[in-house]
């Protein structure tokens, strides 16, 4: 089962990469763009009996490796 994890900084955490992209966009004429946030997308193939089991497995992976729960949130979806 193919799963996708979107990892983003929590709303109160300064997104340095997002600010850099926002500044670069403004410098090339896109001054109307603001509040840019940068995250990462991870896709996984999970062998599981059903979607619930696959989701639980990916949540475990996120909690142990992919996500720093102090500063990041994540969303899962099946693709």
Average pLDDT over residues 15-36: 98
Backbone dihedral angles phi then psi of residue 8, each to the nearest 5 degrees: -135, 155
- The CATH code belonging to domain 2-78 is 3.30.1280.10
If you search the block for the tokens 């979607």, which residue do you land on?
51
Query: What CA–CA distance (Å, rounded) separates 57 from 46?
Result: 8
- pTM for the model: 0.88
Average pLDDT over residues 34-44: 98
Q: Residue 17 — very low, low, confident or very high, per pLDDT cuts 50/70/90?
A: very high
Q: What does the pLDDT look like over 51-67, one tens digit per residue? A: 999 999 999 999 999 99
Query: What CA–CA distance (Å, rounded) separates 74 from 3?
Result: 13
Average pLDDT over residues 8-36: 98
What is the average pLDDT score of the chain?
Answer: 98
């Amino acid at each position: 089962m193919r799963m996708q994890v979107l990892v983003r900084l929590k709303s109160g955490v300064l997104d340095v990469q997002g600010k850099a992209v926002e500044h670069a966009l403004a410098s090339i004429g896109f001054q109307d763009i603001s509040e840019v946030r940068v995250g990462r997308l991870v896709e996984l193939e999970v062998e599981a009996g059903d979607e619930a089991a696959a989701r639980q497995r990916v949540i475990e992976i996120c909690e142990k490796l992919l996500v720093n729960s102090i500063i990041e949130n994540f969303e899962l979806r099946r693709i």
